[in-house]
Chain A
Amino acid sequence: MIEYQTLTQVTGPLIFLEGIKNVGYGEIVEIETDGERRRGQILELNRDKAIIEVFEGTRGMDVKKTKVRFTGKTMSLGVSKDMVGSVFSGLGEPLKGRIVAEEELDIQGKPINPSAREYPKEFIETGISSIDLMNSLVRGQKLPIFSGVGLPHTELITQIAKQARLLTGEDFLIVFAGMGIGYDEARYFREEFEKTGALERIVLFLNTATDPAIERLATPRVALTAAEHFAWNLDYHVLVVLTDMTSYCNSLREVSSAKEEIPSRRGYPSYLYTDLATIYERSGRITGKKGSITMVPVLTMPEDDITHPIPDLTGYITEGQVLLSRDLFRKGVYPPVDLLSSLSRLMSKGVGRGLTRDDHKSMSNQCYANLAEVEKLRALISIIGEEGLTETDKRYLEWANRFEREFINQDENERRGIKQSLEKAWELLSIIPEERLKRIEKDLMKRYMRGE
């Protein structure tokens, strides 16, 4: 292997090298400064010059002594069945011990042929009413959580990961990728799984806030490569948790800026959409394959702003979103899901008669209609006060208060079956005059409201 000692420049996370020969675009390089080894990837080739992104950051590097070797390989991950239960770095190296790889896979993955996809429609019960009944998740879906700084998304995502299963009782293998998260968050997640003795069904990839920011760019791809091996080669049903995508995007912005690329909105590179798509689109189901990849990415919206490029572009790629609300959080509701701004695009074909229960769709529609009505009423109250309200209006408000406290709100360890969630929703619905319940068919009303 030829070694180059021809650095010309170090800028942020990038190094510039010249005099190189026969290297491939995207190739992985090994970099050594005073005995310290790092890894990097070629971002640009220009004649005999290369721009290299250093995953571990460039702290302590110099121009004179630093040596660079080209590996001739693009970034890959050695995958194996034995990865289950282990913890890996953000670049996919085991933190303890060694894993004997069954296969080396390119972490970029390959796009699924759109005509080989199977439409996702198997309902996943997370045991959380606001998701199961109102924004159902199905196997093969990508449903992000749009959160804000300080909101309990770590608790929510942990609860989803712990409880998610099919109605037939099948569990998931959980692949967890932490990017720029606090050490305590990572520990919380791990300990919660330890408590339930479910460690043997998770694979953890951790890039914590103290780890180099550039390493984060590889973390979701490394995690997804492992997930793909389990799903497509070993027939597992995999649930991938990616948190926090905002840290990932900020690292992408850092590299783009160091390369002096022309920035798009808020300084993010113009290819942010494409880049995010190459991550999110790796979930799905494939015709003829037993396994599946379901994805729940978490992102914290800067200033709780849903029009910020990260949530905005994510929303265009994912199949809906679960939005956490600061207002509900302040009211002490957990999980503080803002239902009117949440959506699951794949819900309609995954629930209902024969799948969950025949009243599922109508009930969800009715609750949404009620919530929209309540929102209008609350806006009205803020102008004219509660005196002007009719008797029916007041019933709506009572429904809303109890809906928040008894339906949306639940314990971090409480698993509510879909039937339980439906029963609760029926119980609350009796507050509202029956003639206003237009979204519910008469026969459902008879059967479930009056028990006929």
Chain B
Amino acid sequence: MIKGRIERVTGPVVVAEGMLGARMWDVVEIGKGKLLGEIIKLVGERAFIEVYEDTNGLEIKEPVVSLGKPFTVELGPGLMGSIYDGLGRPLERIKKELGSFIRKGIRLTTLDRKRKWKFEPKVRKGEEVSGGSVLGSVREGSIVHKIMVPDGTEGKVKSVRKGEFSIEESVCELNNGKRVKMLQEWEVRRTRPYRSKVGLSEPLITGQRVIDSLFPVGKGGNVCVPGGFGSGKTVLESAITKNCDSDINIVCRTGERGNEVTDIINELNESKDRKGRPLMEKSILIVNTSNMPVVARETSIYTAITIGEYFRDQGYNSIVLIDSTSRWAEALREVSGRLEELPGEEGYPVYMESYVGEYHERSGRVENMNGSFGSLTLISSVSPPGADFSEPVTQAVLRATKVFWGLDQKLAWRRHFPAMNWLISYSRHLDDMLPWFKKNVSKDWDVVTKNLRAILQKEAELERVVRVVGIGVLPEKEKFILEIARIVREDFLQQDAFHTEDSYTPLDKQYALMRDVVKLYEKGLKEIESGKTTDQILTKSVKERMARVKYD
């Protein structure tokens, strides 16, 4: 055991001397109160430690002890429907046992040791198993939680037990004497193993028209969602978690508002997903509000992604939603500043971008070690200061992702929701998803969506003209295009997340809505050539019909 002493304290960073032999990223206990932290830099016998908790009261020369292993999170039955802080501590149990406020030095395990789970074996005696092999399963609500052999363990099954067990009891014994229990641990900063990454072929269906039809994300993809405050990020995210066809949702709220987190918890408890199951059953919440210690905020996204990978390994489609990456980056910046590292752009450490790239690589669709296929979709929201997308965090996330949903404060102020700017947003999954849409929705999916995009593009060009000369002098054809574009914006792109019917639009209906507008457009253009006016084509009754269909 390596034991040193505190030499320096500055904010959340502690420097300890006498730490020769300690390893990078190892977890340490600091001071008499045994605060937890991890080693982020080593210089000779000095270790630089970021402390997960408030450092007030620490004294020079207090002991620092390395636990000899990096930060891990517990994986196993009991995760579903739970709320954890960034270090995987169970907030519900903390509330029950320790009251309404979060004190320093709390140590409660992620998973409940006492609870018994009904284990249903799948393997038989004599079968060869290795890391990732499914031994059996337990039911957690409506989720079948598969129990897998931990990485690095292999052998022939000697015996397997059926019945009710706690997570620390052995459920399977191998010929070589190894016993496997339901509880596993995993280093949060290390990618969990898989056989190979495979291409994305199926979209994550969200029921949000602007996403599914114009900027779809594949299952296993990653998305950058920047938006200034008030641009409706939270509402959009909750619409996605509520409606999308994922198996597991991991919602990581880091550095966010406390009351908003309560709202999310209430919503998860009260809502049902598309299959009618309580939403909480398929959800796990990782929460580190903005006033909780900074370093735990930094760790929380790794905790969330690791849990996402664990369910991916079981053959599920999981999504991990991070809100917000900016708060994570700020935590990184704060620690870097205390280390007196040379700052990069806007004071962020120069390695921020490569960290962003690294953890985004943990998304994907993979063939698992056990031969099943699973995916992890990563949705990263960004809170750019002053809603300026050119700032370093937005740019770093943009470079690491393939899909961009740019939320626009100006659209939100006009009450256009979801406030996704259709001119700047993009999806580089379009070509990969097209065969799926053609097969499952309609053969001319590409034609219809392309036409819809063209209308919006045309509008943007015309608006530049209108701003200079006014709408009066435009030729009839252009006036008509502007009117059609308005219909696309107001009746298709805008979607009311709180309206029972409008909050979710199935794909075939999305298609039908688009097809109708495009037809109206093509027919109208011909009629204009034969002398009709915009008002004659888009009569009050036509407009009303277009406005109504989405609610039917």
B-binding residues in A (CB < 8 A) = 21-27, 43-48, 74, 108, 110-120, 140-141, 232, 261-265, 269-271, 273-274, 277-278, 280-282, 284, 286-289, 307-309, 312-313, 315-320, 340-341, 343, 345-346, 348, 365, 368-369, 372, 383-384, 388
| Min CB–CB distance A337 → chain B (angstroms) | 15
Contact with A along B374-390 (1 / 0, CB 8 A): 00000000010111100
Given contacts A23-B59, A232-B100, A282-B291, 4 further A-B contacts (CB under 8 A): A47-B60, A112-B258, A113-B94, A287-B100
Q: How far is the CA of A446 from the CA of B57 in the complex (A)?
A: 65
Quick one: which of B223-238 are within 8 Å of A by CB?
Answer: 229-230
Instruction: Please tell me if the beta carbons of B230 and A312 are within 8 angstroms of each other in the complex.
Output: no
| Min CB–CB distance B291 → chain A (angstroms) | 4
Q: How far is the CA of A48 from the CA of B330 in the complex (A)?
A: 30
Instruction: Please tell me if the beta carbons of B59 and A22 are within 8 angstroms of each other in the complex.
Output: yes
Q: Which residues of chain B are within 8 angstroms of A23 by Cβ–Cβ distance?
A: 59-60
Q: Given that A114-B83, A273-B290 are known contacts, is A262 also in contact with B55, CB under 8 Å in the complex?
A: no
Q: Nearest 8 A-B pairs (CB), nearest first? A: A277-B290, A307-B386, A26-B56, A281-B291, A116-B100, A110-B101, A315-B229, A25-B9
Instruction: Please tell me if the beta carbons of A281 and B58 are within 8 angstroms of each other in the complex.
Output: no
Q: Which residues of chain B are within 8 angstroms of A46 by Cβ–Cβ distance?
A: 7-10
Contact with A along B52-78 (1 / 0, CB 8 A): 001111111100000000000000000
| Min CB–CB distance B232 → chain A (angstroms) | 10
Instruction: Please tell me if the beta carbons of A271 and B95 are within 8 angstroms of each other in the complex.
Output: no
| Min CB–CB distance B79 → chain A (angstroms) | 16
Q: Given that A45-B8, A313-B385 are known contacts, is A141 also in contact with B290, CB under 8 Å in the complex?
A: no
Q: Which residue from B57, B102, B263, B337 sits with its C-beta under 8 Å from A270?
A: B337
Is B50 positioned at the interface, with any CB of A under 8 Å from its CB? Answer: no
| Interface SS of chain B | mixed
Closest to B347 in A: A264
A-binding residues in B (CB < 8 A) = 7-11, 54-61, 83, 91-92, 94-95, 99-103, 229-230, 255, 257-263, 265-266, 287, 289-292, 294, 327, 330-331, 333-334, 337, 343, 346-347, 383, 385-388, 413-415, 470, 472, 498
Q: Which residues of chain A are within 8 angstroms of B229 by Cβ–Cβ distance?
A: 312, 315-316
Q: How far is the CA of A84 from the CA of B145 in the complex (A)?
A: 56
Q: Given that A115-B92, A271-B294 are known contacts, is A25 also in contact with B58, CB under 8 Å in the complex?
A: yes
Q: How far is the CA of A281 from the CA of B101 in the complex (A)?
A: 12
Q: How far is the CA of A117 from the CA of B54 in the complex (A)?
A: 21
Most buried by A among B290, B343, B413: B290
Q: Which residues of chain A are within 8 angstroms of B258 by Cβ–Cβ distance?
A: 112, 114, 117, 281, 284
| Min CB–CB distance B335 → chain A (angstroms) | 10
Q: How far is the CA of A318 from the CA of B498 in the complex (A)?
A: 22
Query: How many pairs of residues, A versus B, come closer than 8 Å at their CB atoms?
Result: 182
Instruction: Please tell me if the beta carbons of B385 and A278 are within 8 angstroms of each other in the complex.
Output: no
Most buried by B among A282, A287, A309, A317: A317
Instruction: Please tell me if the beta carbons of B291 and A278 are within 8 angstroms of each other in the complex.
Output: yes
Q: Which residues of chain A are within 8 angstroms of B262 by Cβ–Cβ distance?
A: 114-115, 117-119
| Min CB–CB distance B52 → chain A (angstroms) | 13
Q: What are 16 inter-chain pairs, A to B, with CB distance below 8 A?
A: A23-B59, A44-B8, A45-B60, A116-B100, A116-B101, A117-B261, A271-B294, A271-B330, A271-B334, A273-B327, A274-B255, A281-B257, A287-B100, A289-B100, A308-B386, A365-B415
Instruction: Please tell me if the beta carbons of A262 and B59 are within 8 angstroms of each other in the complex.
Output: no
| Min CB–CB distance B14 → chain A (angstroms) | 9
Instruction: Please tell me if the beta carbons of B414 and A372 are within 8 angstroms of each other in the complex.
Output: yes
Instruction: Please tell me if the beta carbons of A368 and B58 are within 8 angstroms of each other in the complex.
Output: no
| Min CB–CB distance B294 → chain A (angstroms) | 6
Q: Which residue from B11, B101, B263, B387 sits with its C-beta under 8 Å from A271?
A: B11
Instruction: Please tell me if the beta carbons of A120 and B265 are within 8 angstroms of each other in the complex.
Output: no
Instruction: Please tell me if the beta carbons of B289 and A111 are within 8 angstroms of each other in the complex.
Output: yes
Instruction: Please tell me if the beta carbons of B8 and A315 are within 8 angstroms of each other in the complex.
Output: no
Q: How far is the CA of A287 from the CA of B10 in the complex (A)?
A: 35
Instruction: Please tell me if the beta carbons of A274 and B290 are within 8 angstroms of each other in the complex.
Output: yes
| Min CB–CB distance B274 → chain A (angstroms) | 23
Instruction: Please tell me if the beta carbons of A47 and B8 are within 8 angstroms of each other in the complex.
Output: yes
Instruction: Please tell me if the beta carbons of A316 and B383 are within 8 angstroms of each other in the complex.
Output: yes
Q: Which residues of chain B are within 8 angstroms of A24 by Cβ–Cβ distance?
A: 56-59
| Min CB–CB distance A297 → chain B (angstroms) | 14
Q: Which residues of chain B are within 8 angstroms of A346 by Cβ–Cβ distance?
A: 259
Q: How far is the CA of A264 from the CA of B330 in the complex (A)?
A: 10
| Min CB–CB distance A122 → chain B (angstroms) | 13
Instruction: Please tell me if the beta carbons of B56 and A108 are within 8 angstroms of each other in the complex.
Output: yes
Q: Which residue from A115, A312, A343 sits with its C-beta under 8 Å from B385?
A: A312
Most buried by A among B265, B292, B346, B383: B292
